[in-house]
Structure 1
Amino acid sequence: MSLPDAFAAQADTCTRMGSPFMGQLLSILAADWPTDSALGRKFAGFTGDIGPAGHSLPLRIAGGLHALVLSDGAPELAAVYPPHSATDESLRAEVLSALERHQAFLLDWTDSPPQTNEVRRSAALIAGAHVALNHFNLPIHLSELGASGGLNLMWDQYALEIDGARFGTDMPAVLLSPEWTGAMPPKANPVIADRAGVDLNPLDPTRADHLLRLTAYLWADQPDRLSMTRAAASVATTQPQQGDAIDWLGPRLAAAPQGRLHLIQHTVAWQYFPDAVQARGKALIEAAGAQATANRPLAWLSMETDGDTTGKVGAALTLRLWPGDLTLDLGRADFHGRWVKWAYTG
């Protein structure tokens, strides 16, 4: 895929996911990317997949531009960013100017791939955890793979609301209200006894520079995502550890205590693990599941792409439980948590 094609494809994806501004911005970059610049030469040097499943170059530069706006580093650019509206001509002029004037910042920013922590995915995690507790009602030993800044490790501090029914704490830091179809999840009272996560590049949302990185990759015309992320960061207590997810998981599985439900969770992370890592992780979890008991059960909750392009683009929600090796199809969810199509009926 050429860089203009990658920009254009990402523009289409963002527009379909509810961000007309990102569609506008990335379409401008598709047409007017400054190839004869240090940024242009840097991006031309990337090999392999430059789209969202690979280096994700369009989102790298979009995140860098948004970081300039959020950090008050580019007031002229901020004037044409949401909540302001801008014509293609005025946005193009300021974006191209920012690429030139802030090139040193953007060269540094784009060294790393995009990194978000989509808090709205916790809607699916809350519902899935309630199903797991319906089978094994024990305090939770929580482990997250690909945890980023650890915001979805804090789902017990949030609440899911469906048609006036609330699942979660009475005073949530974040209230999640996705478009919900299907039955209600079962009621439960989650108690997280301990929590931990792992990521190749963990972020600490209590640090201003790390929180900027998490928020810059949110889309500027979706302020609700920005406010939710900041609210979630305000109650974050657990910074994920740095490391390979499966190397980290092995000792944590072995050390899972009696009298706890060990709940492994991941959202839109496993799909990016290399095939060999996925196979190793699956074998490790299944081996631990074979040793699970009613007083030391294991649950594996995943929200990962199912490749379904016939309807709404989204992720499959799957829960595996041991002892018994029970696999439950919980339904599907939007990658950003905007909707949940719940399939579980208990």
Structure 2
Amino acid sequence: MQPMSELEADRLRRYYRTFARVEAADTSPVYAEWAQGVADDDAIIDLLLDLPQSKRQANLLFAAARHLGSGTGTFAQLRAWLLEHWDSTRALMLERSTQTNEAGRCAVLLPELARLDGPLSLIEVGASAGLCLYPDRYSYRYRTAETGRPRADTVASGSESVRSLALDPAEGPSSVVIECALRNTSAPEHIPEVAWRAGIDLNPIDITESDQRSWLRSLVWPEHDARRERLTAAAELVAADPPRLVSGDLCERVESLITEAPANSQIVVFHSAVLAYVDARKREEFAAIMHAHPEVKWLSNEGAGVLPSTLAQLESRGVDADGRFVLSVDGVAKALTGPHGQSYEDLDRS
């Protein structure tokens, strides 16, 4: 039997290899090379094993290095930089967390939000800086794939035609424009009214502080210039009217916010890429809390394996998420979504 340290090292190497192959290969050549390099490097693996398990994530390591000035060169260059600057990198990794605040995810939440009778009260769990609490302030450009004869506002693409729909806030086009490809569903026809909004995070980010905004930019992957530009625009928009963010555990704070929401509104609790960072017991506890509040709509946008019930639903239907998130409503899987909000595929019509 292998000693525990060796088992942990093997597990960590597998994680970084999977990150390189599944998460980064098609979207970030830099991170794909870095992750594979880490997996094959005993010295870097040993440094990571000295951190708490929750602080060994690739996103956190790479963002911390870039934030401190590593650049985006080869893995050999990153390795040399890390070995020279490990104390400062380690300190930053212990201080910070992977609070990626991707406003683009609003595009995959909007189809469900638009189906609800408003006004809405939004509560985001794992809110980071709260950029996803403003779906009513952003503009959307949806592309829907349709079969048959192209319409006047469609563009032919092989055997399909692609229809585009522009959706803007009532006050006019936003400085933040989010693009999303839809499949097996039509685009939302309106942006719902939001009467109240609040968020929960263990360490809320103050979007009005330049250093914290800089950290959010460091969390965006090197090649993702459009996401970085969108983050900058969303941060400026939200900084002008910052949300209410409370610090604390998701299970301990969510019910108090539910009771604060206006009584004449539809309360919506939502989260994206959050539950993966808490243990299985905490996930089950949170799901039980949400099921205990049938008056609240619960939107979960997480990896396919994060909630066991979600994975079981996909398997029973023979659906492979293929690296995409699953958007569930009140625990029922509704759509496959791009991790950054770039696509939405309706499961009910697939």
When the two structures are superposed, what TM-score results if normalisation uses the length of structure 2? Answer: 0.77
Q: Which runs of 5+ in 2 are unaligned?
A: 1-7, 144-163, 306-313
2: CA distance between counterparts of 1:56 and 1:283? 29
Q: Look up the equivalent residue of 1:109 and give its one-letter code.
A: L
Other structure's SS at 1:177 match: strand
Aligned to 1:288: 293
Which residue number corresponds to residue 341 of structure 2? 337
Cα 1:156–1:189, aligned 2, differ >3 Å: closer, same or farther?
A: closer
**Matches of 1:108 and 1:10 in 2, distance apart?**
23
2:36 counterpart of 1:31: no
Q: Decide which of 256, 259, 265 is 1:254's aligned counterpart.
A: 259
Q: How does 1:160-179 map to 2 (within 5 A)?
A: 160-163=140-143, 164-169=164-169, 170-179=172-181
Within 5 A, what are the aligned runs for 1:62-141? 62-68=62-68, 74=69, 77-78=70-71, 81=72, 91-111=74-94, 112-132=96-116, 136=117, 138-141=118-121
- Alpha-carbon contact 1:146-1:266 (below 8 Å) kept: yes
Q: 1:113 to 1:328 in 2, by over 3 A?
A: closer
Point out the more displaced range, 108-117 or 242-251. 108-117
> Residue 342 of structure 1 aligns to which amino acid in structure 2?
D
Query: Within 5 A, what are the aligned runs for 1:187-206?
Result: 187-206=189-208
SS of the counterpart of 1:66? helix
Match of 2:30 in 1: 21
The match for 1:8 is: 17
Measure how far apart 1:56 and its partner are.
3.5
Distance 1:97 1:263 in 2: 47
TM superposition shift of 1:144: 0.7
Using the alignment, how far apart are the partners of 1:157 and 1:185 within structure 2? Answer: 17
Alpha-carbon contact 2:100-2:128 (below 8 Å) kept: yes
Query: What's the offset of the Cα at 1:17?
Result: 4.6
Which letter does structure 1 place at the counterpart of 2:299? L
The alpha carbon displacement at 1:244 in A equals 1.1
Confirm or deny that 1:274 pairs with 2:254: no
Separation of aligned partners in 1, 2:75 and 2:325: 34
Tell me how far 1:311 sits from its aligned partner. 4.6
Do structure 1's residue 318 and structure 2's residue 328 form an aligned pair? yes
Match for 2:136 among 156, 170, 174?
156
Which residue number corresponds to residue 71 of structure 1?
A: none
1:56-91 deviation digits (Å, cap 9, x = unpaired): 4333221112213xxxxx4xx53xx3xxxx6xxxx2
Which of 300, 303, 311 aligns to 2:301? It is 303
Is the partner of 1:144 in helix, strand or coil? strand
**How far does residue 173 in structure 1 lie from its aligned partner after superposition?**
2.8
Q: Deviations over 1:227-257 (max 9, x none)?
A: 1111111111215211011221112222332
Closer, same or farther: CA 181–10 of 1 in aligned 2, 3 Å: same
1:117 is paired with a residue whose SS is coil
1:153 deviates by 0.7
Distance 1:145 1:42 in 2: 31
Number of aligned residue pairs: 302
**Secondary structure in 1 matching 2:261:** coil
Moved more, 301-310 or 139-148: 301-310
Native 8 Å contact 1:141 1:263 kept in 2: yes
Partner Cα distance (1:94, 1:155) in 2: 40
Partner of 1:58: 58
Unaligned runs of 5+ in 1: 69-73, 293-297, 321-326
Check 1:95–1:172 CA distance in 2 against 1; reply closer, same or farther (3 A cut): same
Distance 1:340 1:41, change over 3 A: same
Q: Structure 1 218/272 Cα, relative in aligned 2: closer, same or farther at 3 Å?
A: same
Q: Is the alpha carbon distance of 1:17 and 1:335 closer, same or farther for their aligned partners in structure 2, counting shifts above 3 Å? A: farther
Aligned with 1:222 (options 214, 221, 224): 224
Distance 2:246 2:49 in 1: 33
Distance between the aligned counterparts of 2:139 and 2:332, measured in 1? 23
Give the superposed CA RMSD.
2.6
Percent sequence identity over aligned pairs: 21
For residue 324 of structure 1, what is the aligned residue in structure 2?
A: none
Residues of 2 paired with 1:65 and 1:271: CA distance?
Answer: 23
CA displacement at 1:46 relative to structure 2:
4.0
3-state secondary structure, aligned to 1:109? helix
SS of alignment partner, residue 312 of structure 1: coil
2:5 maps to what in 1?
none
Conserved in 2, the CA contact under 8 Å of 1:130 and 1:185? Answer: no
Match of 1:323 in 2: none
> Are the aligned partners of 1:185 and 1:344 in contact in 2 as well (CA < 8 Å)?
no
